[in-house]
Amino acid sequence: MIKTILPLAALTLSACATTPPPFDDDGDPRVIDPAAQACDADAAQGLIGTMASSEVGARLLELTGARTLRWAPPRAALTMDYRSDRLTVYYDDDLRIERITCG
């Protein structure tokens, strides 16, 4: 019984391990500038009131510099974690964009 449990415990713990940072060509750890990943929602405020679509989503990513886009449908539960590289776009039942924020 113990012979079965120990490998499963090791496998479970290995899932919690962190991965090392990526390395550049010289073998040095890459330093990622947090400012380069930051989102700026101010440039996208002119799209409030437009219809939500994949084309608009792509344009929002271009305008804001965000790396990820999160659509927030009406009455949906969203995580409260803050990510400086994420753009959140709230829309109503008619798919009209109501609010655009970073985080």
pLDDT, tens digit, for every residue of 73-86?
A: 999 999 888 899 99
Which structural domain, as residue segments, surrounds residue 91? 34-103
User: Could you tell me if residue 3 is inside a domain?
Assistant: no
User: What is the value of pTM for the model shown?
Assistant: 0.64
User: Could you tell me if residue 39 is inside a domain?
Assistant: yes
Q: What is the mean pLDDT of the chain?
A: 80
> How many structural domains are present in the chain?
1
DSSP state of 93: T
Of 11-20, 67-76, 88-97, minimum mean pLDDT range: 11-20
Whole-number Å distance between alpha carbons of 89 and 69: 8
Is 70 exceeded by the pLDDT of residue 3? no
Side chain identity at 57, as an amino acid letter? Answer: G
DSSP state of 40: -
The CATH number given to whatever domain includes residue 88 is: 3.30.10.10
